[in-house]
Structure 1
Amino acid sequence: MKLPDVKIIKFIQQQHVLSLSVILAEHQPWTCNAFYVFDEENCCLYLLSELKTKHAQAMLKNPNVAGTISISPKSVAKIQGIQFSAKAELLTENQASHAYKLYYHAFPFARVMKAPIWSICLQEIKMTSNLMGFAHKTYWQRSEVL
């Protein structure tokens, strides 16, 4: 798998909150914010979410999700962010150990939650970074289809 551009990887690693959009069973959109940790090797984001949440129920029915990771600087010249599409998967006990290890290393306080862990496997990314010139875009797409 070809990894995203180093600028995209560095940006994702420097942040820790994403906005995730899903489609509810009633075909209505829903968005949540969540802490995440990035698994560079697998190009996935891991997040914790209880099964009773609207977004978890939606991801179980339709794993196609989209989201953003951004910062909100006061200066337009410093705007950076990514938009992504991904496949969400509730990790099984066998799959989850690596993801929990990364997540708890980044967020030790989360150990008390005991929530299921999800993989948000990135499929496509568009990064906008005004640090590299106004409205500069960098694109990445996963080469293999999941």
Structure 2
Amino acid sequence: MDERIKKFIASCKLLSWAMRDEKGVYIANAFYAFDERNLALIIASHEDTKHIKLAFKESKVAVNIAKESTIAFLQGVQIKANFCKANEMQIQIYYKKFPFAKLLGGTTFALEIEYVKFTDNSLMLTKKLEFYQDFVKKNEL
């Protein structure tokens, strides 16, 4: 993954993610920590929430992270990811970034990145960068 994409993802902390529900699409927001080594976004939530129940039913989810700015400097990523429970290392990454979250309880999950489209209007020549996880073929997305 291009270092500019990693730097952007690491610089933010709030994402919006979408999953399928019985009527189409459902969306939720979550604070996240970035597991750069495994290219995953780590979130925490309670297993009885609608968004977590839906993600367990269909693990392919969509994610958006954006920084509010003027059009000339707009930055954001659109991500396709796979939802799963976080491993022990990822749990530590999350609570290091959000230690207060331990008080809230819940379970920690990973959104494993399969595809990223990074838009950065401040880039002079290339405004969009893409990343495909090696095991994902472009035509499967």
User: Same fold per TM (> 0.5)?
Assistant: yes
Unaligned 5+ runs, structure 2? 137-141
Candidates 9, 20, 24, aligned match of 2:6: 9
- 1:118 and 2:114 correspond: no
The alignment covers a number of residue pairs equal to 136
The structure that is strand-richer by fraction is 2
Q: Is the CA contact 1:87–1:121 (under 8 Å) kept in the aligned structure 2?
A: yes
1:88 aligns with 2:83: yes
1:132 aligned counterpart, secondary structure: coil
Q: Does 1:44 align with 2:40?
A: yes
Distance 1:72 1:135, change over 3 A: farther
Consecutive unaligned residues of structure 1, counting only runs of 5 or more, are none
> Matches of residues 39-118 of structure 1 in structure 2 within 5 Å?
39-73=35-69, 75-91=70-86, 95=87, 97-118=88-109
Does structure 2 retain, via aligned residues, the 8 Å contact 1:77–1:134?
Answer: no
- Do the aligned partners of 1:37 and 1:46 also contact (CA within 8 Å) in 2? yes
Residues 1:18 and 2:9 aligned together: no
Tell me how far 1:28 sits from its aligned partner: 2.0
TM-score by length of 1: 0.89
Q: Deviations over 1:110-138 (max 9, x none)?
A: 01022111110000000000110387100
Poorly superposed stretches of 4+, deviation over 6 Å: none
> C-alpha distance in 1, partners of 2:19/2:85?
14
Q: What fraction of aligned residue pairs are identical, expressed as a percent?
A: 30
